[in-house]
Chain A
Amino acid sequence: MRALVWHGKEDIRCDTVSDPTIEDPRDAIIKVTACAICGSDLHLFHNLIPAMKPGDIMGHETMGEVVEVGSAAQGALKKGDRIVVPFTINCGSCEQCRRGNFSVCETTNRNKEMADKVFGHAGAGLFGYSALTGAYPGGQAEYLRVPFADQTHIKVPDGLTDEQVLFLSDILPTGWQAAVACDIEPEDTVAIWGCGPVGQMAIRSAVLLGAKQVIAIDRLPERLGMAAAGGAITLNFEEDNVIERLNELTGGKGPQKCIDAVGLESHVSLAQPDTLLDRAKQVVMLENDRPHVLREMIYVCRPAGILSIPGVYSGLIDKVPMGLIMNKGLTIRTGQTHVKRWTDDLLRRIQEGQIDPSFVITHSVGLQDGPEMYNVFRNKQDGCIKVVLKP
């Protein structure tokens, strides 16, 4: 089959690889009908997530048709079923899964021993996302082996297109969890940094959950335009003073809830000198991540407020003012998304027409064009916001 394979920094190729096979009775194999490129994939593209190995297959936003089912998954799945695959692989029965904390499932990480050494205690297995999360081959491919498939799937009801449900795999529940973590009250202002696909989903979620105002921050006009279409007040951080404007819009008190949908690759520019220093440290490996957005949120957030962080961070950061977090009594919520915890509810909202996540798609191409689309998405060319690949 063909698959997008990581060969090194900025080197992803559409290779021909051997087909996956059932390895465990709980496995299933799907024929991929649609998959997407995520902002997290860009961190891998830039080799900023440790423990990627040449030969790793990319992709964690995947759906398709079941073509083979292991004996232990047969009660839950059958040939021909259409499923969306959550990017967090979950067993459904460990202590964390029973609490709904699927992204830290205790069973599914194949490299748990090694990952435990790095993390203290490791999280779940993830598709297409480095050895520390189990080194599972990803779904930017023609076929995908789904481990723990009896649990790790969302069945697609008839009448919905691939585009409408694909993002149940990651970005819709990720934006949703980010907003839910804000425990939104009707008088709340929710400020969201980053209007990439995750930010866009967080904006829609905060609007649906009834925030008084949602403020979205980015610098790219096409993304800010899409944010405004979803009901957000927009700030361009290259033109506006973010801190001043956020305070103005909240009667001088700051937003009660802040969401970081940017993560470790905050935009580097002279206007934000701290990002230059972070970038330099990153190059010489003195710091893993560029935490500009964290600094900004911690500073502007209203005391006793919440910082919700879906943006991915990989390791060590510098100059983050713990003193402000402590003295202002801020709550931090973060994590990879517990996808399955939210998807039944979200699927219903899609069916009822409350939300249609396909609005975010700007490009939809064949798998062979995937490697080039990593460049287009990364370089923000051609108005690119979300790429869907159709193998």
Chain B
Amino acid sequence: MNLRANSARMKGDPRILRSGRGSLGAADRLGRALGWFSIGLGLVQLLAPRQMTRSLGMQGQEGLVRAYGAREVASGVLSLSVDRSMGLQSRLLGDAADVAMLLAALRRDNPKRDNVMLALAMVAGVTVLDVVASQALKARHGRERAQPVPRSVTPHRGDRSGFPQGLARARGAARDFVVPPDFRSSPRPV
């Protein structure tokens, strides 16, 4: 990675010697990994729904599986975007929908019941990861951040008006400023 980054530099520009602490956290990486998983699974469901319906004893429901695949891809794209938390939320909704679909396929007369059980177990496992990622993302990126914030070396003192002589004196204090001709727009009323 750094090799590629360095070879693209202009002559003279600083090159990376060693990579250090970064802005991406474990929660982000897990969220992104789940996003890629969503896209992979979604593409299989979209492109080869028959394989899935056959192995789960759900023949005839290819349309439903395709729709699920489209939803999966959308959640995946969202989980890779900066709106990752929303992506994970939509994955959790998807997990619930997956469980509902599989429970419906868990009929006694389904010869592929064992496969359905296995699939349910897998969905349960992924759901745990989704919950973990979703909570970790909230702790890291939610407005009420649970993780500590780097501490200021020099805390701010003083007022927040920005006007050392007070607001009242500030109003119009720069009326002496002459707006340059190219920044004039409205003709003054005569």
Interface, chain A (partner B; CB < 8 A): 1-3, 5, 7, 9-21, 23, 45-46, 53-55, 57, 99-100, 110, 135, 137, 141, 145, 180-181, 183, 185-186, 200, 204-205, 207-210, 225-226, 229-231, 256, 268, 279, 283-284, 304, 306, 331, 333, 345, 349, 353-366, 368-369, 371-376, 379-382, 384, 390
Indicate whether B78 reaches chain A with its CB closer than 8 angstroms. yes
In the assembled complex, the Cα of A372 lies from the Cα of B147 at a distance in Å of 11
- B185 and A331 within 8 A (CB): yes
Residues from chain B with a CB closer than 8 A to the CB of A5 are 5, 16, 19
Interface presence of B60 (CB below 8 A): no
13 CB contacts below 8 A, A to B, read A2-B20, A11-B22, A13-B20, A55-B16, A204-B170, A209-B177, A231-B161, A231-B163, A279-B83, A360-B162, A366-B150, A379-B142, A381-B144
Interface size class of chain B, counting residues whose CB lies under 8 Å from the partner chain: 35 or more
Return chain B residues, CB-CB under 8 Å to A11.
22-24
Known contacts A11-B23, A13-B23, A20-B14: A55-B8 contact under CB 8 Å? yes
Residues 162-178 of B at the A interface (beta carbon under 8 Å): 162-165, 167, 170-175, 177
A99 and B183 CA atoms in complex are apart in Å by: 12
In the bound complex, what is the Cα–Cα distance between A209 and B178 (angstroms)?
Answer: 10
Closest A-chain residue to B80, C-beta based? A9
Interface residues in B117-158 by Cβ distance below 8 A to A read 140-145, 149-156, 158
Question: Does A359 contact B158, Cβ atoms closer than 8 Å?
Answer: yes
B-side contacts of A99, CB under 8 Å: 182
Is the beta-carbon distance between A180 and B183 smaller than 8 angstroms? Answer: yes
Known: A13-B19, A13-B20. A365 touches B152 (CB 8 A): yes
**Cross-chain pair count, CB within 8 angstroms:** 219
Task: Return the chain A residue nearest B81 by Cβ.
Answer: A283
**Any A CB within 8 A of the CB of B99:** no
Closest-by-CB residue of A relative to B4 is A54
Cβ-based interface call for B109 (8 A): no
Interface pair B170/A231, CB less than 8 Å apart: yes
Say whether B179 faces chain A, with CB atoms less than 8 Å apart.
Answer: yes
Please judge, given known A-B contacts A17-B15, A283-B78, whether A371 and B173 are in contact too, CB under 8 Å. no
Please name all residues of chain B whose beta carbon is closer than 8 Å to the beta carbon of A46 when the two chains form the complex.
82
CB-CB under 8 A from B184, the residues of chain A are 183
User: Chain B residue with minimal CB distance to A353?
Assistant: B164
